[in-house]
Amino acid sequence: MQSSSFIPSSNNISKNFWRYTIPSVAAMLVNGLYQIVDGIFVGHYVGYQGLAAINMAWPITFVLSGLGLMIGIGSGTLISIARGEQSMTNAQRAFNTGLILTFIISCLSFAAFAFFGSYFLQLQGAQQDIKHLALDYVSTFGNAAFITVLAGAMPMLIRNDDSPKIATALLVIGALTNIVLDYVFLGLMGWELKGAAIATLIAQGITCAGGLIYFCSQYSTLKLKISLPQFSWSESQKIMSLGSSALIMYLYGSFVVALHNYQFMVYGTELTVGAFAIVGYMMTMYYLVAEGIGEGLQPPVSYYYGAKKPQYIRQTLILAMKTTVIAGIAWFLLLTSFPSTLISLFNNSNSALTLEATQGIRLHLFAMFLDGFIVLATMYFMSVNQASKALVISISNMLIQLPFLYFLPKFLGVAGVWLTMPISTMVLSVVVGAMVWKDINQRCNSHDDSDLAPAQLIEE
């Protein structure tokens, strides 16, 4: 086993955090360019109907990325804990099991997309042209589910193999490829949403291929072998349990967007859904930063957990929280200061679309820094092997929006739909904040680093 690059010293806490967080945030932003660049080209070459269609397709295809991240987070957590315990055998077993689990889940996803893709679009109120455009996008991703799932897992596997820069570099190459192919397939060839999907899949395929080559090289501690020995069904259950909260976060995003799409079609029009897509891209930029900070938090916190260093966990968490909240407030101030300029990235000259999206930014995003805090809290509990708490937060983040999304539009119309997420997030953040405060204080005040032994990989 190679010696870990971590040195559990208070002088290195900030260094360790930023060493993983900066590449992780960069990787998430680059990875998010797949979605955002698709929106830019669709907005300019297809129009607001294309934006509405891709916003209805997105909740379905986004699940594939969530499944990949579930495997990446779950495997990565086990790998980092094993590294903290100096156990190369356990780290390699977690890696092997994660790759095989990727293949199994991809096959199941392919079947689900084939049978239920059209039905999920109908549930959101998609009709006629919008449904046709959206189905092109969904079907293309379903046919190549393995690529998207593996692309979601690969950066986390590489990052937890102590190579965050390589993970980021592969994502940058993929994102640049996606930009070029979007222009070719949409701008030059006129393939509309199907072209956007193909461009993304090719770019993701490049990232996956680069990752597989890395794990066959001399630079990786973990090794990719053709036979992939040491697969463990019990290990796969641990991976899914630890990563389930990450999947729930993605399901939360898909679920919320789908319900908003439906309510916007009830209380608004296709134009409103198109504006919601633009606002969603704006929030995605921050959400990716928050998720990147959370992913950067995971390797050092999991290591400190395995090495029994609770004070280092606390200091790392506080640093991550400050960064997340400040980034959210700063991004909202920028959005409200220059809304028309940023909206024009997705809109040619439709003044009604600009007006609707501007209203959406002001009503929908004012509390998004709290959503970032909730993301970070979820990642914290996953990192310290508290899978059940992370899962409860993720599920609550979905369920708490239902009553607000049902009642607010009845009184406020379209504005009520816009306000649902920020109001529900404010309520949930109070509860989540109390959970995090209690857990970290108990952990630091206990003579035993945790009520869970490091070798115990799943919460009792």
Least reliable range by pLDDT among 42-46, 77-81, 189-193, 230-234: 230-234
Q: Which residue has the higher pLDDT, 306 or 332?
A: 332
Helices and strands, counts by H and E, the chain:
16, 0
Residues 158 and 212: their CA atoms lie apart, in Å, by 10
Half-sphere exposure of 456 (CA within 13 A, CB side): 9
Question: Which of 255-294 are b and which e, b meaning 16 or more Cβ less than 10 Å from the residue's Cβ?
Answer: bbbbbbbbbbbebbebbbbbbbbbbbbbbbbbbbbbbbbb
Look at the block and give the residue holding tokens 């998010």.
32
Q: What percent of the chain has pLDDT over 70?
A: 93
pLDDT digits 0-9 by tens, 233-281: 888 888 898 888 778 777 877 888 899 999 999 999 889 999 999 999 9
Would the pLDDT of 9 be above 50?
Answer: no
- Mean per-residue pLDDT of the chain: 85
Residue with tokens 């997030």: 425
pLDDT at 451 over 60: no
CB neighbours of residue 114 within 10 Å: 13
Please name which of 133, 402, 393, 416 lies closest in space to residue 259, comparing C-alpha atoms.
402
User: For 308-367, what is each residue's pLDDT tens digit?
Assistant: 787 888 888 889 999 999 999 999 999 999 999 999 989 877 899 999 999 999 999 999
Residue with tokens 């729930």: 248
- Is the pLDDT confidence value at 417 over 70? yes
pLDDT in tens, 252-262: 778 888 999 99
pLDDT value at residue 31: 67
Provide, rounded to the nearest whole percent, the portion of the chain with pLDDT above 90.
Answer: 39
pLDDT in tens, 11-57: 578 888 888 888 888 877 876 777 788 888 998 898 888 898 998 99
pLDDT score, position 151: 92
> Residue 117 and residue 119: Cα distance in Å, rounded?
5
pTM: 0.75
Distances (CA, A) of 104 to 48, 97, 99: 37, 11, 9
pLDDT level of residue 394 (50, 70, 90 thresholds): confident
The more confidently predicted of residues 420 and 3 is: 420
pLDDT at residue 11 in the model: 52
Q: Is 233 exposed, middle or buried (0-12, 13-18, 19+ CB in 10 A)?
A: exposed
Write down the pLDDT at residue 301: 83
Residue 114 has pLDDT above 80, yes or no: yes
- Per-residue pLDDT at 229: 55
Give me the pLDDT at residue 231, please. Answer: 65
**Encoded tokens for 164:** 């965050």
Q: Give the pLDDT score at 187.
A: 87
Helix (H, G, I), strand (E, B) or coil at 154: helix
**Side chain identity, residue 225:** K
Return d(Cα 15, Cα 82) in angstroms, integer. Answer: 21
Q: Is 385 left (phi over 0), alpha (psi -120 to 50) or beta?
A: left
Summarised one tens digit per residue, pLDDT across range 372-382 is 999 899 888 88
Residue 294 pLDDT exceeds 60: yes
User: Which pLDDT score, from 0 to 100, does residue 367 have?
Assistant: 93
Structure confidence at residue 1 as a pLDDT band (50, 70, 90): very low
List the one residue out of 214, 113, 205 whose CA is nearest residue 166. 214
Longest dimension (CA), the chain: 65
What is d(CA 300, CA 79) in angstroms, rounded to the nearest whole number? 12
- Are residues 450 and 457 in contact, defined by beta-carbon separation less than 8 angstroms? no
pLDDT for the residue 4 = 43
